[in-house]
Structure 1
Amino acid sequence: MKNPILYRISQLIGFLLGARVFVALLLTFALYVSTFFLFNQEESLRNFVFDFKVHGIIFCTVLSIFAGGIINQFYDREKDQLTKPFRTRLQNFLKQKYFLYAYLTLNLFSLGIAYFISTRVFVFFLIYQFFMWFYSHKLSKILIINNLTFVGLTLYPFFGMMVYYHTFSVNVFLMAVFLFLILLIIDITKDFLTKNADKIFGYVTIPNYFGNSLAKKIVVFFFIILMLVSMLLINKTGIHTILNLYFAIGLFVTIFGIYLLLNAAKKTHFYLLNILRMWVFVGIIAMLLDGIIKKF
């Protein structure tokens, strides 16, 4: 007989993993940090705290990301059984129909709040949710489009905040390019690890289509552009801030990343993937500390 408490806990963990809750929480943190310290540099902390429209937009983003994670795992379920067997086993404690109910509920709730904020915000999230579904349903299996769409959807809320605050500058543009490139490299590196499963289930990825050798050269090319963007960011103000120090150290991280990428062992790709993910998180912390020093 099943232990009802353990069974319910397993159901909860399975749902949290299916909804990519931990990824959503990280993106929420990144949104708050970038909104207050990068896009909204003129507003005081007090005004920002009581700006309920901004909190509403970020909350809609979180709900949409939860929903996007659910629909993505619904379409990727067969592949995940090979690449993420433990996660899939936990998700099997809940029937797929409950994930779909949650997907629809989260999206509708998000759109309801968005409509309450403004019609433009409603349209913004309607487009976001449509492309999240379309990515999982169709675009995730199309060569190059899959990587570009994934990165674009990740950055979409940040672009929305930039437009909301009318924050347009060379520095912000370069930082956006930096983040785009590092997320693109992360996504392609992930494709190296799931190459066999992708081939079985019809996902046309850069490593599958071009082969490992050429695919690695493509990623090295992106790494080189990433280094150039980092040097441009450093050159604008010099290494006088925590954020610029982050970009300077990032040059060495990039070189080490190229070394790991060119290594033939599969486990080095796993190390590279997690180092780059951690480096993105370090960048968020660097922006937070840099912003605190400048504002306070």
Structure 2
Amino acid sequence: MNSEKENFQQKNYIQKSFYYRFSQFVGFLLGARFFVAILLTFALYVSTFFLFNQDETFRKFVFDFKVHGIIFCTVLTILAGGIINQFYDFEKDHIVKPFRTRIQSFIKQKYFLYAYLMLSIVSLGVAWMISHKVFAFFVVYQFFMWFYSHKLSRILILNNLTFVSLTLYPFFGMMVYYETFSKKVLLMAIFLFLILLCIDIVKDTLTKSVDKAFGYTTIPNYFKSKNTKVIIISLLIITIAVSMKLILRTGISGFMAYYFVGGLFVFILCIYLLLNYSRRSKFMTLNILRLWVFVGIIAMLLNGLEGKL
């Protein structure tokens, strides 16, 4: 009888231990925004090979270890940035993201900081081995990642502009590395910047009260709701204008042409939803725009494969 009881207790202990370790692992992935890093890595590889690197063969690209090293450093920096951001936003996330915060609570905050330092040091170490210029590039990237989380995320307008700029910073680095400067690339960069800016502002409208309570001065809690709606709709109209410029003036073709034409209808739908300006319509707009960014990555991949084959 005692033996059965001991076996049951041992089995129960193993199950609890497994659950605890698994929760710690998931908590770390969420804290580091691992899944966002995966998406950005995929987007970097697609844009690097099919947009910036137009002359190099696939074989040469695969064995270009310098490029892989830069992307590896980028991924580590993004993971480190996600960790330091959740460290500063921990109290706010308790309200905005209760499930994620509960999972993260299985890991002490000091271990997140250790992971942040380790990821940052490894990233800079690899960058130093690639070249001094790459090292300087990532020193600037990591500094602004930290400074955004520490200070800029609470400052009106700068918070949105810095967040979007940091998201696009690795793509800018690849553009400089391959010296791919053209009207088409510039307009595509502006297009993506505007979409990400709209996403960030719409996201802020959904956390307006919490941001205000914790001292984050965002566009929705500084301006009135009507003015915020006008700002977002104006940005979407400008995005439509940039899309039309890309379609009519740059000779873009294939899947990317379909993407930008389809985008006109998507942005008009978002404007229609925002005219209602209910919480549900803002949530739908946010997810539609996020989905459209992902569709753009797939369209670039298909367009590139069509051109390379």
Q: TM-score range by the shorter chain?
A: over 0.9
Q: Does 1:196 align with 2:209?
A: yes
Q: Secondary structure at the match of 2:54?
A: coil
The 5-angstrom pairing of residues 126-165 of structure 1 reads 126-165=139-178
Cross-structure match for 1:105: 118
Deviations 1:81-116 (A, max 9, x none): 110000000000000000000000000000000000
In 1: Cα distance, 2:65 partner to 2:250 partner = 34
Q: Distance in 1 between matches of 2:146 and 2:265?
A: 37
| Counterparts of residues 168-247 of structure 1 (less than 5 Å) | 168-236=181-249, 240-247=253-260
Contact 2:183–2:250 (8 Å) recurs in 1: no
Question: Counterpart of 2:17?
Answer: 4
Amino acid at match of 1:33: V
Counterpart code for 1:211: K
State the Cα distance separating 1:134 from its structure 2 match.
Answer: 0.1
Q: Within 2, Cα distance between the matches of 1:66 and 1:215?
A: 31
Moved over 3 A (4+): 237-240
Query: TM-score under structure 2 normalisation?
Result: 0.94
Matched pairs, number? 296
Counterpart for residue 108 of structure 2: 95
- Deviation by residue 1:4-40 (Cα, 9 ceiling, x = unmatched): 0001000011100000000000000000000000000
Length-normalised TM-score, structure 1: 0.98
Give the letter aligned to residue 80 of structure 2: A
2:127 and 2:134 in contact (8 A); partners too: yes
In 2, Cα distance between the equivalents of 1:132 and 1:240?
36
8 Å contact from structure 1 (residues 239, 248) kept in 2: no
Quick one: which of 282, 290, 297 aligns to 1:269? Answer: 282
Instruction: List alignment gaps of at least 5 residues for structure 1.
Output: none
* Structure with greater Cα Rg: 2
**SS at the partner of 2:106?**
coil
Any stretches of 5+ residues in structure 2 without a counterpart? 1-12
Q: Is the 8 A contact 1:135 1:150 kept in 2?
A: yes
User: Does the Cα contact within 8 Å between 2:33 and 2:79 map onto a contact in 1?
Assistant: yes
Q: Quick check: 1:239–1:245 contact (8 Å CA) kept in 2? A: no
Structural RMSD (CA)? 1.0
- TM-fit CA distance, 1:177: 0.2
